[in-house]
Structure 1
Amino acid sequence: MKKISYILFLFFSNVAFGQSFTKTTYGIQSTVDGLIVEIQFNSPKIVRVVKAPEGTSYKKESLSVIKKPESIKLDIQQQGNAVLLKSEALQVELNLMTGKVAFSNLNGGQLFTEKDYGTQFTAIKDVNKNTYSVRQAFRLDKDEVIYGLGQQQNGKISQRGQKVFLRQDNMKVCIPFFQSVKGYGVFWDNYAPTTFLDNPQETSFDSEVGDCSDYYFLYGSSADGVITQLRDLTGQAPLMPLWVYGFNQSRERYKTQFELVDVVKKYRSLKVPLDGIIQDWQYWGKDSNWNAMGFDRSTFPDPKSMVDSVHQLNAHIFIVAWPGFGPQTKQYAEFKNKKMLIDFETWPPRSGTTPYDVYNPVARDIYWSYLNKGVFSLNSDAWWLDSSEPDHVNLKEKDFDLPTYLGTFRSVRNAFPLQHVGGVYDHQRQTTSDKRVMILTRSAFAGQQRYGANTWSGDVGSNWQTFRKQIPAGLNFSLCGIPYWNTDIGGFFAGAFVKGGGAKNPEFQELYTRWMQFATFTPMMRSHGTDIPREIYQFGNRGEWPFDVQEKFINLRYHLLPYLYATAWNVTSHSGSIMRALYMDFVNDKKVYDIENEYLFGKSFLVSPVTDKGAATQSVYLPAGAVWYDFWTGERTEGGKAVNKETPIDIIPLYVKGGSIIPWGPKVQFAEEKKWDNLELRIYPGADAEFTLYEDENNNYNYEQGKYTEITFYWNDHASTLTIKDRKGSFPGMLATRKFDIVLVNHQNGTGAGNSSKFNNTITYKGKEVTVKL
C-alpha cells in the first residue's frame, strides 16, 4: 500500500511541475517534447521503447517478435527530471525534458543511450496513408565494437564507422540489429528500407516508413546471453535432420531426373559420402510456366520414381520453389483473380513472372496447397526457397507503393523472406511431424531461425576477394541470432574459369578446394554453382590431388557429425551458435574484436580458412586465456599470440581449444549408415572440459516430446580423469550398450582427419556413470 501511494505521489507531483508519467502494466508512459514515450519490459532483461508523435494512434503487430510482455517487479522512482525503472537485471532512465532513454547495469554503469532529442519524425504520405519516416539516434562509446546488421558483403566483422542501406537483395541480408562487446543488443523493429549509420557523432537507424519508433534493448552480459534474449524474443531454432549436416551436392541445374539420380549413383560407386542432392529451377519447363510446382514430363517423366530412387540410394532430395509465378501457371491465375499478386517484375526477366503476396495468410495457404500437391506429396525431403528476398527485376521506385495485405510494399519490404519462409514451415508442420522441415533459402529477417531455415550467401562471384568476405558475412549473420548459414562452395558465378578447363582449371581447383575447406566448418556443407559442374569427379580421379583433398574434407565432415549434431542440439535447447566470432568466447582479449578471418566452429575448433591464392603459410592468432592444439599435429601452444602455420593444399589451419572433448564419428557413406556404438573420444587437456553427446531419431519431431538421450562427459584436468555420467532420457531404437575409445591427444596420438590407431583406454558403457583415470 505504501508503494502504491508513493507512485501516486510521484505522478501528481510530476503533474504539478508539468512533467508527468503514468505507470502501465509493463512499465511507464509519458509525453515528452511532443512525443508519446512508452517503456515496456518484456522480461527483466528485454526492454521495448516505443515513441510516436503526440495526438497520433498506432497499432503495431510485430512480425518478428513473438514474446509477450511480462508483468515483472519494477522499482520506479523519479530523480529530478528523470524517471528510473529498475528490474532485477538492469536500469532504464527516461529524461522527462529531452525524451532520451538510457540503459545501465544495476551498479549504474552505462550500457547504451539514446541522444537527447534523438527521435525524429518526418510527415510523409505512404500512398493513401498519412504516416512518417522515422529516425532514432544513439550514442556509443568511442572504442565500443558492434556486430550484426545481417549478412553484408563489406568484408568487415566490426560494423563501426559504416553506412549501410538495409534493403533485402541477392547476397545482402538486411536485419536492423546489432550487438555490442558490452553485452547488449538492439533490435530496430521496422520492415521498411532503413539506413544504418555509425560515425563519431551518433549511431542511428533511419527508416523510410514507420508509424512509430520501436526498438528492443536486450541485455545478455555476453554474446551468448544477447542471443539467448533475442531467441526468447523472436523464437527458438528447431533441430534440423541429422542427414542435412552431412555433404550436399547441387548444380545449376540437373536437366533431367536421370541426370540427378546418376549423380547420387556416381557418389555411391566412388564411396564418397553424400546425403543431399538438390534439384534447381526449370524442372517445370518454359519460363512462362515458372514455378508451376509440377514437373515437365518430357525431362522428368516420373518424378515420384526419381524421389524414390534417391531414397533407395540412402540420400535425400531438395526441390526448389520460388515466390514468383509465370503467367501461364495455375497459381498466377488464382492469385491474380484474388488480387494476391504484388505487381512488379521478378526473376526471370521479361517472362511476366510476378511474386505472390506473402504477407497475406490466405495467400500463404494457397501457396502451400500447390506446393504440397505438386511436390511434397512425392515424399521430397527439403525445400530450396530461392529468391526469397525476392529478386526485383527492372526496379522502379513506384513499385514500393504497391499494396500488400499489410500495407505498402515499402512498409514491409524487408520482412518478405520471414513471411514467405514462415508460411512453408508452418504449413509443413501442420501437415506432418514425421519429417523435420529443412529450408535452404537466400534471404532472412529477424526471427527466421524459428522456421527451420538455413540461409546461403547468395549468387556470389568465384574469386578470392569475395571468398574472404563470406567469413565476416556469416559471422555477423550468426550474431543476429540466426544460427544456420552457408555459402556456394567455389562461388556461384565461375564463368571466368571455363576457358581454362572448368573443373580441370588449376586456378579454379585451388579456389574451390580452399572454399570447400571453409564449408566443412559451416552449418551446412553444400556444393553449388553455375558455369562449371562441381561434383567431385568433375575435378579428376582418385589419386589426383583435387579429388583426394575434397574427399579428405568430406570425410572429415562426417567424422565431425557427433560433435556437430550435439552443437546443433545446443542451438535448439540452449540458444547456442555454431559459427562463433572469436569475441563470443574471448571477450577479455581485445585483439580478437576485429579479426574477420578466424572463428570458432562450436566451442572447440578454431578455424582459419585459407583465402589467399597460392598461400604457403598463414598467420593465425590464438586467443589468450586458453591453450591450443594444432589439429593436424597435436602441437600444443599457449594462447595470446600469433603462429605461422604451413598451408599445403590439403591443410587448413585448424586448432582445438585445450579443455575440449570431441566425439569422433565413424567413416560412413551417409549420415545414418552406422550407429554411434563405438565412438572415439578425443580429449584435449589443458583445462577442465564438459561435453554432452546428443542422440535422437534423426528426422522427426519426437524430440520435442522428450524422446532423446544425453550423455555428459566431464574431464578433470588436474586429476586426469574422465567421468561419463548416467544417460538421460530415452527414445525407440537407442543404443543400450556401446564402447568409447578414449584418446588423450598429444603430438603422437589423436591427430588428423582419420581415426586413431591406439587408445589410452576403452570403456564399455551401459548408461550408468563410470570414471576412468588416464
Structure 2
Amino acid sequence: MKSIKSVLILMALCCCTSLIGQDYQQTPEGLKATVNSVDVELQFYTPSIVRILKSPDGWKYVKESLSVIEAPQKVKPAITKEGNTVRLKSSEMEVTLNLESGIVAFFNTKGEPLLCEKGKPEFTDFNDAGTKTFAVKQTFLLDKDEPLYGLGILQNGKMSQRNQTKHLVQGNVEDVVPFVQSVKGYGLFWDNYSPTNFADKPEGTSFQSEVGDCIDYYFMYGGNADGVVAQMRALTGQVPMFPLWTYGYFQSKERYKSQEETVGVVRKYRELGVPLDGIIQDWQYWGHNYLWNAMDFKNPLFSEPQKMINDVHGMNAHMLISIWSSFGPMTKPYRELDKKGMLFNFSTWPQSGLETWPPDMEYPSGVRVYDAYNPKARDIYWKYLNEGIFKLGMDGWWMDSTEPDHLDWKPEDFNTKTYLGSFRKVRNAYPLLAVGGVYDNQRAVTSDKRVFILTRSVFAGQQRYGANVWSGDIGSSWESLRNQIPAGLNFTLTGNPNFNTDIGGFFAGHYNKSWNDGSATKNPMFQELYVRWLQFGTFTPMMRSHGADTPREIYQFGKKGEPVYDAIEKMISLRYSLLPYIYSTSWEVTERQSSFMRALVMDFADDKSVWDIKDQYMFGKSFLVAPVVSAQYTPEKVVKVNENDGWNRNNAQKFEDKAPVDFMQAKSAEVYLPAGATWYDFWTNEKYDGGQKVKKETTIDVIPLYVKAGSIIPMGPKVQYATEKPWDNLELRVYVGADGSFVLYEDEFDNYNYELGAYTEIPIAWNNASRQLTIGARKGAYKGMLNNRKFTVVLQDGTRKVVDYNGKRVSVKF
C-alpha cells in the first residue's frame, strides 16, 4: 500500500514538473522559463543577436559583462508555441526553446538550421575562494564538415579550429577570446572570463569554464564572415581610427640602451633614405629592476627624455615606449598602489632584481602586478604615466605583459582577491581592463592625439580601445612564421582587426654563433627567414621589426646594392606606396566593420577549397597575399624555443653551414587563386583565372602577390615618412576585367575630428563594359584638405591618363 502511494505521489510530481516545464514568461527582450530545474532566459539584443542565460533553478546572481557594451534594443520578437517548442522570430533569425528538454536551437529566416545545443547544461558546485558558485559547461552540435574559426591568437598552426581541445587562458604567446564563427554565417561569444576549455569532439563542441554564476553566451547571425564580425563589434565596441603614421614602418629591438642609440637609429634611416615612421623604446629606461616600470627616466643613459622625444619629432618620426602591468618596490606607483591594497602577490616578470638567467631568487625583485580590474587603480596608473611620460609628448604606448605574466603559478594564486572577485573569475579579461584604462584616460585628457597602443594580450571587446595586438615573444623559426598567418586570421575573425608580430621572431639567438661576428644578420639562414617574415609583415596592420639577440635595423643586413638589403628596402617602400589604400581600408574597418587581414573564407566562402587555407589571405578587399613560409635558399633548421627558454643566452645552437647563397636564383612557390574572380600578378600584370593553383617564380625580393580584377588601388608618392607629401597626384591602378569600386578616405590624420564629421570620401568606380572610370563627387570636408588635385589612371596594358579633379564628378573612358 505504501509503495502504491509513493508511485502516485511521484506520478503527481512528474505531472506537475511537466506542466511547469511547458510554461514560459514573455519578457520585453524575449522569454524566461524553467526547464528541468534550470532557469533559462532568451534576450534579443538586436534582430541579429540573442543572449542565452542559464542557471540552476532559483539561483540568484548579478552578471555585468566586461566585454559587452550594447544594451538590448526594443526588438520584440514574434513568439509562437507549437507543442513543447517555443519559437522566437526576429527579422534576421529564429530561435527555439524546447520546453521539455531545455535545448535552444538557432535558424536563419528560411528555417534552415544553424546551430543547436546538445544535452543539458552542466553546473558543478565550486568554492571560489570562499564564494559559492559553479563550474559551467554547454555543448553544441555542429555539422560534421563545418569549419569553425576564432578563439584568439593561437600558435597551433590551424585555420579551422575543429577537432581539438584547447585550454583558453591568457599567456605570453597566446591570447584567448572565447568566440567562434562558422562558415554558415553565425558567431558564438561565450561571455566568461575564467580559464575555459574549448573542446571539439565527434560527440559535440563545448565551452567549459572553471567558474561562473551562470552560463552566458551570445549567438549572432551575420550571413557571412563580415556580417558576423559586424555583429560582434556592435555587441562589444567599434574600432577607432589610428593615426596615419601608425601604418608606416616601425623599428625596434630588445633594447636600445641609451637615448643616443634610440635617436641614432632614426637619424641613420633618414641618412639612408629608407622610410621610417616609428621608433620604439623597450624596457629599462627606468633603471634597474627594483625600479621596474617607474614611468620615469631614472637610467642615467636616458637623462634628457624631453630632448630624446624632441629629437625624434624633429626628424618627423614618432615614438612608442614600453610600459608594464607591474611595478618594482622602489617606484612611486608601487608605493601608492600598495598602500591601497591594489597589488597582487603572485610571481611575475622579472622575478629577480638582478639581470641574470635563470633568475637569482636570492635577490627577488619584489615586482608586483597591479589590480587593473579596479577603476581607481587604473586612474592611479594613468596619473603616473601622464605626469612622467605623456606630457613629454610621447606618441603611443607599448603595453607589455598585459596578460599579465603569471610565472611559476600555483593553484592558490587564482584565489587572489581582485576588485571584481577572485583572479580565477576574471583572469582572462585582465588585458581588456588594463588597455582600456589607458585608452579611456588618454581620451579624457585630449582629442588632439589619437590613442595608439601596442599590446601583448587581448580579450573580447578590446578592439574599441585603440590597440594593436602582437603575438608575443615567439621564437625565430620557419614553423613560427607559418603559425603567425592563421593566428592573425583567426584573431581577426573574432572581431579585432589589429594584429602584428615581431618581424623575424623575438628569440633569434640560435642563429648567432655560426658567424664570426656573432650576428644573425650576417647569417644567410636568418637573413632568408627575416626577409620572408618582413614581406609578410608588409601586409599586416602594423609593420614592426623587433626582437632579441641580434639587431634588426636594415643597415645591419648589408648595404644598398646587396640582395638582402635591397629586398628589405623594396618592401618598406612598397608599404609606403600603399598608404592611401591602407588608410582608406582603415576607414572601412572603422565605419563599415571591415577587416585588414581577411581569411580567404571571408570573400570566397562558396569555394570550399579555401575553407582551410592557412598560408594565404586577402589584405583589404583587393590583394591576395601568399607569403613564402618555407626556406628556399638555406637549410630550414627545426628550432623549438619558448618565451622562458629564450632568455637563456647560452642556448644558441651552432649552425655550421656557411656555403655562399645566391638569393637572386629563381625559385618558385605554389598559390591557389580562389574561384569567382580573375587575378593579376602584382609584379608582372599577368592575368589568371580563379579556381586553380599556379606556380609563381620567386627570388628573395619577390613573393606571390595578386590583385583581384575590378580592384582600384591608389598608390602614394615616394616618401620618407607617412605625411611628408600630400596626396595631390595619386596613381590609380585599375585592374580591368570586372566592375569595381573604391572609396578614397582622407582626414587630418591624427586627431578625433573625424568623429565630428571632419573627413572626406571620394568614391571611385570602374565600369568594365564601358571601360569607364568615374571619380565621384567628394563627400565631406576638413581643414587643410586638397581642393584641387590630379589622379593618374593606369591600366594593366600601360595606358595612362591624367585627370584633373576639383571635387566634382568626372569620368574618363579607355
Relative to 1, partners in 2 of residues 1:18 and 1:681: Cα closer, same or farther, differing over 3 Å?
closer
Deviations 1:350-389 (A, max 9, x none): 3111100000000000000000000101100000000111
1:598-609 to 2 correspondence within 5 Å?
A: 598-609=616-627
Specify the alignment match of 1:556 in structure 2: 574
Pick aligned residue for 1:401 from 391, 415, 431 = 415
AA partner of residue 140 (structure 1)? L
TM superposition shift of 1:18 = 5.0
Question: Which segment drifts farther, 392-401 or 86-95?
Answer: 392-401
Q: How does 1:466-481 map to 2 (within 5 A)?
A: 466-481=480-495
Matched with 2:34 is: 31
Q: Secondary structure at the match of 2:300?
A: coil
The one-letter code matched in structure 2 to 1:162 is Q
Which amino acid is 1:644 matched to? Answer: K
Question: Secondary structure, in 3 states, of the residue corresponding to 1:63?
Answer: coil
1:646 corresponding residue in structure 2: 697
3-state SS of paired residue (1:693):
strand
- Name 1:717's counterpart in structure 2: 768
Query: How many pairs are equivalent?
Result: 750
Which residue is equivalent to 1:741?
792
Choose the corresponding residue for 2:591, options 559, 566, 573.
573
Partner of 1:516: helix, strand, or coil? helix
Alignment pair present for 1:137 and 2:143 = no
SS of the counterpart of 2:694?
A: strand
Match of 2:302, SS state, is coil
Report if the CA contact (8 A) 1:658-1:684 is conserved.
Answer: yes
| 1:432 matched residue in structure 2 | 446
Q: CA deviation at 1:116?
A: 2.7
Unaligned runs of 5+ residues in structure 1 are 1-12, 750-758
Matching residue within 103, 107, 115 for 2:106: 103
**Greater Cα offset, 252-261 or 612-621:** 612-621
2:62 equivalent among 48, 59, 64? 59
**Post-superposition shift, 1:14?**
11
Q: Note if contact 1:690-1:714 (Cα within 8 Å) is conserved in structure 2.
A: yes
1:42 partnered with 2:74: no
1:621 counterpart (663, 672, 684): 672
Find the partner of 2:782 among 717, 721, 731.
731
CA offset digits 1:223-247 (Å, max 9, x no partner):
0000010000000000000001000
Deviates more, 1:334-343 or 1:230-239: 334-343
Distance of 2:73 and 2:44 partners within structure 1: 7
| Residues 338 and 714 of structure 1, relative CA distance in 2, 3 Å threshold | same
Write the letter of the residue equivalent to 1:683.
V
Shift of 1:344: 1.0
Which of 124, 129, 137 matches 1:122?
Answer: 124
Does the 8 Å contact 1:186/1:217 carry over to 2?
A: yes
Indicate the residue corresponding to 2:90 in structure 1: 87
Distance 2:447 2:453 in 1: 15
**Of residues 218, 236, 239 in structure 1, which corresponds to 2:238?**
236
**Cα deviation digits, residues 460-488 of structure 1 (max 9, x gap):** 00010111000000000000000000000
Once residues 181 and 435 of structure 1 are traced to their aligned partners in structure 2, the CA distance between those partners, rounded to angstroms, is 39
Counterpart position of 1:530: 548
Correspondences of 1:63-82 after superposition (within 5 Å): 63-82=66-85
Question: Equivalent residue for 1:693?
Answer: 744
Q: Give 1:668's aligned residue.
A: 719
Task: Tell me whether 1:256 sits opposite 2:258 in the alignment.
Answer: yes
> 1:271 maps to which residue?
273
Same amino acid, percent of matched pairs: 59
Q: CA deviation at 1:760?
A: 2.1
Equivalent AA in structure 2 for residue 374 of structure 1: G
Q: What residue is the counterpart of 1:764 in the other structure?
A: 804
For 1:299, what is the secondary structure of its paired residue?
helix
Write the distance in 2 (CA, Å) between the matches of 1:206 and 1:213: 9
- 3-state SS of paired residue (2:346): coil
2:332 aligned partner = 330
Alpha-carbon distance in 1 for matches of 2:58, 2:222: 35
Aligned counterparts of 2:742 and 2:238: Cα–Cα separation in 1: 22
CA contact (8 A) 1:14 1:20 kept: no
CA–CA separation in structure 2 for the residues paired with 1:606 and 1:74: 41
Deviations 1:389-420 (A, max 9, x none): 11112211111110000000000000000000
After TM superposition, the structure 1 = structure 2 runs for residues 369-380 of structure 1, keeping only pairs within 5 Å, are 369-380=383-394
Question: How far off its partner does 1:73 sit?
Answer: 3.1
Which residue of 2 is the match for residue 520 of structure 1? 538
Question: What's the CA shift string for 1:548-594, capped at 9, x where partnerless?
Answer: 11000000000000000000000000111000000000010000000
- How far residue 498 of structure 1 moved from its aligned partner, in angstroms, is 1.3
CA contact (8 A) 2:183 2:225 kept: yes
Using the alignment, how far apart are the partners of 2:469 and 2:533 within structure 1? 17
**Whole-angstrom CA distance in 2 between matches of 1:277 and 1:488:** 14
SS at match of 1:304: helix
Q: Does structure 2 retain, via aligned residues, the 8 Å contact 1:14–1:21?
A: no
Report the alpha carbon displacement of residue 144 of structure 1 after superposing the two structures with TM: 0.6
Segments of structure 2 that go 5 or more residues without pairing to the other structure are 1-15, 353-364, 634-666
Structure 1 distance, partners of 2:371, 2:303, is: 32
Deviation at 1:297, TM superposition (A): 4.8
Partner deviation per Cα, 1:181-218 (whole Å, 9 max, x = no partner): 00000000000000000011100000000000000001
Higher mean displacement: 14-23 or 215-224 = 14-23
**C-alpha distance in 2, partners of 1:107/1:580?**
28
Q: Find the aligned partners of 1:482 and 1:337 in 2 and give their Cα distance.
A: 37
Question: Residue in 1 aligned with 2:160?
Answer: 158
2:455 corresponds to which letter in structure 1?
T
Q: Which runs of 4+ in 1 moved over 2 A?
A: 13-18
The alignment status of 1:773 with 2:813, answered yes or no, reads yes
1:302 maps onto 2:304 in alignment = yes
Structure 1 residue aligned with 2:641 = none
